[in-house]
Amino acid sequence: MSSKASLSQEKEIILAYVIEVLVINVSNAALTLLLGFLLGVLPGTAVCLATVAVFRLFAGGAHASSPWRCAVVTILVFPALALLAATLSPLKQPYVDFLAVVAILTGLVLIALRAPVDTPSAPVISPVRRKRLKYLSIVVLFIVAAIIFCLRNSAWAYAPQMRLCLILSVLWVSLILSGAGQRLMALIDSINLNLPTRREV
Amino acid sequence: MKKILLVFTVTVLMFLAHVTAASACLISIYQPEVPNSLRR
């Protein structure tokens, strides 16, 4: 493509980067939604995925060292959050309100203290950009908090489940922003996936 | 026509590269190495 479009080497590198990003994210999102569909929690999975994606754009978070580990975590986490939301949806309103307050306060504190959490492969260098990303993360949190509040008074049958999806997504974002989340990813990175091979006789 | 389509695709991809590089990271928890020219 680059030779046909006669691109410079620099643009060629950028093109390779963006294609890698698109392939990883689109395939992970598609497989996550597929698992959500198979488990019967597609709308919840989509809500969790979209919420965390918007947060991660601005707040960043812990990262895995390989695309395969990343794919496994991404594909498992979002349907699991949606399943948990579906399981918890019969909970009475005061308990859900308490969970919402805990999630929003935890999210606010962690965003204020740590966002944006960058990686060595994509560092946030400019202090102005760092400040802007933190500000936008807080704006996103307030929008999500407003949606959680609006869903509280909604008559929509799926409102309690979607509300819990948003609450659990905010808690997941808080975890991946925290030191504990980074240690969890380091633990996942340290899992040796090389299965022992049979010794030849 | 092919040439126009190619230029259009490259332009869209370049735009996406700048958008993705401007944000902290994406949906996935794996972050490929951002090219030096996109680091800010």
pLDDT along chain A (201 residues), means of 10: 70 84 87 94 94 89 79 89 93 92 95 86 82 92 94 88 95 91 84 60 46
In a domain, A36, yes or no: yes
pLDDT of B17: 80
Residues of A in contact with B29 (CB under 8 A): 61-64, 70, 73-74, 176, 185
Instruction: Name the phi and psi angles at A126, rounded to 5.
Output: -70, 130
33-62 of A, contacting B, C-beta below 8 A:
49, 52-53, 56-62
pLDDT of A106: 95
In a domain, A1, yes or no: no
Q: Residue A185 half-sphere exposure, CB side, CA atoms within 13 Å? A: 25
ipTM above 0.85, yes or no: no
CA distance B34 to A30: 23
| Separation in Å, CA of A77 to nearest CA in chain B | 11
Q: Residue A58 half-sphere exposure, CB side, CA atoms within 13 Å? A: 17
Element holding B12 (H helix, E strand): helix B2-22
Count of pairs with CB atoms under 8 A, one residue in A, one in B = 125
How far, CA to CA in Å, does A37 sit from each of A70, A101, B28?
20, 29, 19
Amino acid at B39: R
Instruction: Name the phi and psi angles at A194, rounded to 5.
Output: -75, 105
pLDDT of A103: 95
The parts of chain B modelled with pLDDT lower than 50 are none
How many structural domains compose chain A?
1
Q: Is A95 exposed, middle or buried (0-12, 13-18, 19+ CB in 10 A)?
A: exposed
| Separation in Å, CA of A62 to nearest CA in chain B | 7
| Separation in Å, CA of A130 to nearest CA in chain B | 9
pLDDT of A167: 96
pLDDT of A10: 79
Nearest CA in chain A to B9: A1
In a domain, A194, yes or no: no
For A81-151, where are the E strands, in sequence order?
none
102-121 of A, contacting B, C-beta below 8 A:
115-119, 121
In a domain, A161, yes or no: yes
| Buried b / exposed e along A116-137 (16+ C-beta atoms within 10 A) | bbbbeebebeeeeeeeebbebb
In a domain, A3, yes or no: no
CB contact under 8 A, A63 and B29: yes
pLDDT of A201: 46
In a domain, A128, yes or no: yes
For A33-133, where are the E strands, in sequence order?
none
Amino acid at A153: N
Supply A118's token pair. Answer: 């960058």
In a domain, A195, yes or no: no
In a domain, A147, yes or no: yes
What is the extent of the structural domain holding A38? 9-189
pLDDT of A118: 81
Residue A163: partners with Cβ closer than 8 Å, 6 or more residues away: A96, A100, A148, A151, A152
3-state secondary structure of A135: helix
CB contact under 8 A, A121 and B10: no
